[in-house]
C-alpha cells in the first residue's frame, strides 16, 4: 500500500538531502499529495504529483495519511493567490495552485473549483503569458521555487502552464523534450512558445523563457534578480545580447 501524505504548510521545500541546510530542489504546496518513498525520521523522501523527488521534513506534512484526510479536501478548491481563514481560526496566505481545505473561508483573493479553471485558464499556450504577467510580475528569483513568492525559470513555466491544463515537467531540460520544434528564430515566436537556453559546453538546457511575441519574452532569471521582460533586438542591453547567444531552441505546446 502506498503511503501518501497531504502537505500542511503553504509551501513545503523539497531538499536534495535530509537536512535543513541542504539545497532546495523544488517545492510542493498546501493540500497537495505526496507519496512517501523513504523514512529517515524526521525527514521523508517523497515523490510529488509531477514525479519529482526530494526530502521534506515531517513538520510540513499532516501526520495522518492522505486517505484519512481526503474528506477535508473533497472540493479541491484551487488557490489563485488568496488569504483564507481556516476551520480552527488560523489565517494564512496560500499561493497559486495550493489546494484549500473545505472548511477554509477565502477572505482575500480568489480560489476556484477545479471544474471552473478551464473557463478562466483555457488550454491555449497563447494565453499563458498573460497569466504569468498577472501572477508573477515582480517575483524574485529563488532556486527551486514555484510560486510568486519566489521561483526559478522552470518553476514559473510549470506553474503557469499547469493553470492552463498543461502538465509540464519540473526542470527546463525535461520541458525541452516536449512540444513541437519551431523554426525561424526569434522572428517566428508566438505568445506561449518556450525558448530554451544553455550556458554549458555540452549544450544541456539550463534556462527557459516564455515568448510574448516575436523577439520578446518573459522569464525569471538570476541575472535579472527575478522577473524580467526582454526585447531581443535591444543591442544596447548586454544581458540581452548574452541571452540571445545562449539560445538553443524553441518549442510550441498544444
pLDDT > 70 in the chain, percent: 100
Which domain covers residue 133, as residue numbers? 125-252
Return the pLDDT at 88: 85
> Which of these three, 88, 113, 138, is where a domain ends?
113
**pLDDT mean over 127-135:** 98
**pLDDT mean over 56-82:** 96
Indicate the pLDDT class of residue 1, thresholds 50, 70 and 90: low
Q: How many CA atoms lie within 13 A of 12 on its CB side?
A: 30
**186 and 218 together in one domain:** yes
Q: Which pLDDT tens digit goes with each residue over 136-181?
A: 999 999 999 999 999 999 999 999 999 999 999 999 999 999 999 9
Residue 210 sits in a domain whose CATH number is 3.90.1720.10
**63 and 98 together in one domain:** no
Q: Which pLDDT tens digit goes with each residue over 83-130?
A: 999 988 999 999 999 999 999 999 999 999 999 999 999 999 999 999
Please determine, for residue 234, whether its predicted confidence score (pLDDT) is greater than 80: no
**129 and 245 together in one domain:** yes
**87 and 62 together in one domain:** no
Please determine, for residue 75, whether its predicted confidence score (pLDDT) is greater than 80: yes
Residue 37 sits in a domain whose CATH number is 2.30.30.40
Give the integer Cα–Cα distance in Å for 53 and 109.
31
Please determine, for residue 228, whether its predicted confidence score (pLDDT) is greater than 70: yes
**155 and 55 together in one domain:** no
**pLDDT mean over 19-30:** 98
**205 and 228 together in one domain:** yes
**49 and 100 together in one domain:** no
Indicate the pLDDT class of residue 237, thresholds 50, 70 and 90: confident
**230 and 130 together in one domain:** yes
**33 and 129 together in one domain:** no
**64 and 86 together in one domain:** no
**pLDDT mean over 227-239:** 89
Cell digits for 68?
A: 484519512
**173 and 244 together in one domain:** yes
Return the pLDDT at 62: 97
Long-range contacts of 200-208 (CB under 8 A, 24+ apart): 203/248, 204/173, 205/172, 205/173, 205/175, 205/176, 205/248, 206/172, 206/173, 207/153, 207/172, 207/246, 208/153, 208/154, 208/157, 208/172, 208/175, 208/176
Tell me what the pLDDT averaged over the chain comes to: 96
- Residue 187 falls within a domain, yes or no? yes
**84 and 63 together in one domain:** no
Full-model pTM: 0.96
Amino acid at each position: 500500500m502506498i503511503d501518501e501524505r497531504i502537505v500542511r504548510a503553504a509551501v513545503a521545500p523539497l531538499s536534495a538531502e535530509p537536512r535543513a541546510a541542504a539545497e532546495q530542489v523544488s517545492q510542493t504546496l498546501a493540500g497537495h499529495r505526496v507519496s512517501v518513498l523513504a523514512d529517515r525520521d524526521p525527514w521523508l523522501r517523497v515523490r510529488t504529483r509531477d514525479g519529482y523527488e526530494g526530502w521534506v521534513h515531517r513538520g510540513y506534512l499532516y501526520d495522518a495519511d492522505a486517505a484519512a484526510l481526503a474528506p477535508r479536501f473533497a472540493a479541491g478548491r484551487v488557490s489563485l493567490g488568496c488569504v483564507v481563514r481556516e476551520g480552527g481560526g488560523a489565517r494564512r496566505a496560500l499561493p497559486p495552485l495550493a489546494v484549500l481545505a473545505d472548511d477554509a473561508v477565502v477572505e482575500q483573493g480568489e480560489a476556484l473549483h477545479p471544474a471552473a479553471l478551464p473557463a478562466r485558464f483555457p488550454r491555449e499556450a497563447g494565453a499563458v503569458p498573460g497569466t504569468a504577467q498577472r501572477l508573477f510580475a515582480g517575483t524574485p528569483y529563488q532556486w527551486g521555487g514555484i510560486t510568486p513568492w519566489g521561483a526559478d525559470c522552470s518553476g514559473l513555466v510549470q506553474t503557469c502552464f499547469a493553470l492552463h491544463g498543461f502538465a509540464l515537467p519540473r526542470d527546463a531540460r525535461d520541458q525541452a523534450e516536449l512540444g513541437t520544434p519551431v523554426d525561424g528564430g526569434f522572428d517566428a515566436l508566438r505568445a506561449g512558445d518556450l525558448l530554451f537556453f544553455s550556458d554549458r559546453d555540452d549544450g544541456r538546457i539550463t534556462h527557459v523563457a516564455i515568448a510574448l511575441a516575436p523577439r520578446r519574452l518573459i522569464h525569471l532569471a538570476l541575472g535579472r534578480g527575478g522577473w524580467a521582460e526582454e526585447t531581443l533586438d535591444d543591442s544596447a542591453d548586454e544581458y540581452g545580447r548574452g541571452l540571445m547567444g545562449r539560445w538553443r531552441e524553441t518549442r510550441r505546446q498544444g
